[in-house]
Chain A
Amino acid sequence: MKSTIFAAMLGLTLKDKITLFYSLIFPLALLIGLGMYFDTPEYQEKLIAGVTALGALFWGVQGIAFQVYQQRSRGVYKLLMMTPFSILSFILTVTLARTVVGLAINGIILATGLLLFGLTYSIVNLLLFTGLLLLGTLCFTALGFVIANLASNEGQINSLSNLLQIPMIFGSSAFYSLEQAPAWIKLTGEFFPFAHMINGQTAALTGQLTEVLVPMSLLFLFTVLFVVLAAVTFRWDSRTSFLAIRRQY
């Protein structure tokens, strides 16, 4: 039965054309614009890592948050709560469906970057890079679920998303080096998964494979944390506080 729900959620995700466009076109434009201007292989490598991570972030956080909010407002989750299907299974199914599409989007961005800049990597490098993309997309999608659970209206989704996304992006070395940045900026980045994703992806592409392990582990821990938070804060009713007592799974 989970396959039916997964397929339906996948179909629904593909109908989210605005987020699809935003998550694909914006990173592609960045990749082409910056990559052609700063045409050193080192920068282009960092750019591919930064742009794919950015795609995963946008796709994961905002896309799912609005989808969940819309479904909750329609009362779908109230009905769901009365079925034997567990909330955790639902969250995982939706998250996985969006992750599959998110990975496909990033596959296009990655392939465009490699072809455009003429970069080549070993299978191991690319597998590690893809593994980090998978974890990152899962992580940000679960975070989007948490945001949808905390927000009471669409405006709050935007505010909460920006509140988390902006420090994540500026606290990472996605588009510039943090070597000269104040310590507090670097420290801020450490508290969010985005910087670790960038560090891991950059290490995967530059061949420093031993340096992938720590960021990958941290990204995994953030993913587990956000999935648990998504399940704990899940609420079926758009009018009740997320702290309201609910059935626990």
Chain B
Amino acid sequence: MIKSLVQAKGLVKHYGERKVVDGVSIQAAEGEIIAIIGPNGAGKSTSMDMMLGLRKADAGTVTYWEENYRSQVGVQLQDTPFFPGMTVMQNLRMFAAFYGQKLSRQRSIELLAISGLQGMEKLEASRLSGGQQKRLAIALTLAHSPKLLFLDEPTAALDPRARRDIHELIRELSAKGTAIIFTSHDMEEVGKLADRILLIDKGKVAAEGTAGELLMQHQSETLEELYLNKTMGAVI
């Protein structure tokens, strides 16, 4: 039986008088790839922050498969946070240690290979190019072999080859049972990768389902067309 790893129900968040998230529910099971799409400011990141415990929800609940879930969740943020002054390898070791793991040499080599950063382990992380920093940010999320991954625009600012590598990585992880929740503005990527898609607009789930279901329900030719129709009037 496929186990549900995270279930967020009816999340609500206000910033002052403004309701930025209004009853959003998201769930992910083992091996599932969930894409959250929507215009900038639609409430995607705030919903993710509430799921991660970074922001307190005004209403709603978030339930993980076990109490000690933090050590098995990986998070890649839109920005690329590293310890300034530390090398690629030092950052990898540091974040693995935060998750209570000592990074073996073998695992370090694997992570560098996954992220395409072989030979760069001694470089200061902040001196890497934007794309390389993104790759490192993803490697950091994998250092402790998480069961559940949150990826916030994982392929933004990556070249096509790196983008393809990340897509392959996401598929491989999913095949091994890792649940992945990611946000993206690239509808082609979403269509290729996601098992289920959540379209959030003005803080609400405007559409949800597989790519096929969504296209059929909303009589659209492509996900991009569906996105544009459902988010009409939004500032993109």
Where the two chains meet, the residues of A that have a C-beta atom closer than 8 Å to any C-beta of B are 1-2, 4-5, 8, 11-12, 15-16, 70-71, 74-76, 78-85, 236, 245, 247
- Complex Cα distance A12/B126, Å? 14
Could you write out 18 A-B pairs with CB less than 8 Å apart? A4-B97, A5-B94, A8-B90, A8-B97, A11-B86, A12-B86, A15-B85, A71-B83, A74-B82, A76-B82, A78-B77, A78-B81, A79-B75, A79-B77, A79-B81, A82-B73, A83-B70, A83-B71
Which A residues are in CB contact (< 8 Å) with B81?
74-76, 78-79
Residues of A within 8 A of B225 (CB): none
A93 to B101, CA, bound (A): 17
**Once bound together, how far apart are the Cα atoms of A78 and B82, in whole Å?**
11
A15, B71: Cα distance in complex, Å: 30
Interface residues of B in 59-73 (CB under 8 A from A): 68, 70-71, 73
B89-111 Cβ-contact flags toward A at 8 Å (1 or 0): 01001111111111000000000
Note all chain A residues with C-beta closer than 8 A to B101.
Answer: 1
- B218, CB-defined interface residue at 8 Å: no
A71 B84 Cβ-Cβ under 8 A = yes
Partner of B93, one of A2, A4, A12, A247: A4
- Measured CB to CB, the nearest residue on chain B to A236 is B54
Bound CA–CA A58/B227 (angstroms): 55
| B16 adjacent to chain A (CB < 8 Å) | no
If A79-B95, A82-B52, A82-B54 are given as contacts, then 7 extra A-B residue pairs at C-beta distance below 8 Å, sorted by A number, are A1-B98, A1-B101, A4-B94, A8-B86, A8-B90, A15-B85, A76-B83
A84 touches B83 (CB 8 A): no
Instruction: Give, as a whole number of angstroms, the nearest-CB distance from B128 to chain A.
Output: 13
| Residues of A with C-beta under 8 A to B102 | 1, 4
Residues of B within 8 A of A81 (CB): 53-54
Are A8 and B94 CB-contacts (below 8 A) given A74-B82, A247-B53? yes
Contacts of B54 in A (CB 8 A): 78, 81-82, 236
* Across-interface contacts of A4 in B (CB, < 8 A): 93-94, 96-97, 102
Kindly state the separation between the CA atoms of A80 and B77 in the bound complex, as whole angstroms: 12
Interface string of B148-189 (1 = CB under 8 A from A): 000000000000000000000000000000000000000000
Closest CB of chain A to B12's CB: distance in Å?
A: 16
B14 interface hit (Cβ, 8 Å) = no
Tell which of A5, A74, A76, A84 touches B70, judged by Cβ atoms closer than 8 Å.
A84
A83 in contact with B83 (CB, 8 Å):
no
- A residues less than 8 Å from B52 (CB atoms): 82
Contact partner of A74 (CB less than 8 A), chosen from B68, B84, B97, B99, is B84
Q: Does B140 contact A (CB under 8 A)?
A: yes
Task: Give the CA-CA distance A79 to B94 in the complex, in Å.
Answer: 12
B19 sits at the interface (CB 8 A): no
A8 touches B53 (CB 8 A): no
B86:A245 contact, CB within 8 angstroms: no
Would A5 and B71 count as touching, CB distance under 8 A? Answer: no
Is A85 a contact partner of B83 (Cβ separation < 8 A)?
Answer: no
Q: Taking CB as reference atom, which chain A residue is nearest B101?
A: A1
User: Is B79 an interface position by the 8 A CB rule?
Assistant: yes
Contact between chains at B75 and A84 (CB < 8 Å):
no
Residue of B nearest to A1 (CB): B97
**Other-chain residue from B56, B73, B75, B96 in contact with A245 (beta carbon distance below 8 A):** B56
Shortest distance between the CB of A129 and any CB in chain B (Å): 32
Q: How far is the CB of B76 from chain A (nearest CB, A)?
A: 9
* CB neighbours of B100 from chain A (8 A): 1, 84-85
Contacts of A245 in B (CB 8 A): 56
Tell me, in angstroms, the Cα distance from A16 to B83 when the chains sit together.
13
A75 and chain B: residue at smallest CB distance: B81
**B60 CB to closest chain A CB, in angstroms?**
16
Complex: A81 Cα to B52 Cα, angstroms:
9
**Chain A minimum-CB-distance residue to B53:** A247
How far is it, in angstroms, between the C-alpha of A96 and the C-alpha of B107 when the chains are bound? 29
Q: Are A8 and B83 in contact (CB under 8 A)?
A: yes
Q: How far is the CA of A233 from the CA of B101 in the complex (A)?
A: 28
Cα A84 to Cα B68 in complex, Å, equals: 8
B100 to chain A, nearest CB (A): 5
The docked-state distance in angstroms from the alpha carbon of A79 to that of B76 is 8
CA distance A82 to B53 in the complex (A): 8
Bound Cα distance A84, B52 (Å): 12
Complexed CA–CA distance, A182 and B85 (Å): 46
